[in-house]
Amino acid sequence: MKKIFCFDVDMTLLVHPEMTVPESAVESIWNLRKREHKIVIATGRMLSEEDTTGVRRLLEPDAIIHSNGQKVDAEGTPIYEDPIPRELIRELLGFAEEKCVNIGCTIMGEAYYLSNGKADKMLNTDLYSIAVRGGAKEQKVLADRFPNLAIIPFSSGMGADIVRVGFSKASGMDHLLRHWDKTWRDVVMFGDSKNDIQIVERAGLGIAMGNAVPELLQVADYVTDDIRRDGIKNGIEFALHSYDR
């Protein structure tokens, strides 16, 4: 049976700070395509056509779950999108500026943050993702003020996605599965961070990278190798072997 192989981006596909995708990962994912499996990227980023990471160009995914489920594209066409309300963005910016918390986003490869004086741009476009640059203290300031938002730390700890409660990579996958008439049993998910926990838990086979945060390692069905040690390649081989048995 053909499966849906889904991959997080940062430190699952994309090595930091080099910002490269291992050749073994690219080759293994293209081999999945030859077997007619679906390829999906699920990320906290807004992975636009101007994607500066190069992941879209390298992998040509069948679908992308952007911004922790707030936008979903399949075969190059949006099938679900729910931009962040402008009034909420305005409220966030005002509070963050007052508390000296640096929030913002990246649009078409350019950073728009309070720290560089460009955050007002966020009020003039449809936004699906906002991030905070800072550690646990700054993240708690936002979480205490906005209980309707989930503050999901990056694996590095220095920064976090700001997501409306109810949105996640898993909620994005729900939309995609309905679109393709598939079930969660068809999903193989690779991830490394806290925003991958729900989707890894629900996947038919949830795979954590060897460099994943402890919380994800605890819920994964299988732990593959570190991203720099052919983690994607080895995890794909494990998945294919599991389904071929």
- pLDDT number for residue 171: 98
85-135 confidence digits (pLDDT tens): 999 999 999 999 999 999 999 887 788 999 999 998 899 989 998 999 999
Q: Is pLDDT above 60 for 245?
A: no
Q: Is pLDDT above 60 for 212?
A: yes
Q: Is pLDDT above 70 for 36?
A: yes
Domains and CATH numbers, the chain: 4-82+167-244 (3.40.50.1000), 86-164 (3.30.1240.10)
- pLDDT number for residue 52: 64
Is the bond into 17 cis (omega within 30 degrees of 0)? yes
Q: Quick one: tokens of 47?
A: 């992975």
The band of 50, judged by pLDDT with boundaries at 50, 70 and 90, is: low
> DSSP for 204-241?
SEEEE-TT--HHHHHH-SEE---GGGTHHHHHHHHHHH
Q: What share of the chain is helix, strand, coil (3-state, %, to 5)?
A: 40, 25, 35
The answer to whether 159 and 113 have CB atoms below 8 angstroms apart is: no
Q: What is the mean pLDDT of the chain?
A: 94
- pLDDT number for residue 1: 78
Percent of the chain residues topping a pLDDT of 70: 98
Helix (H) or strand (E) holding 65: strand 63-66
- pLDDT number for residue 47: 86
- pLDDT number for residue 79: 98
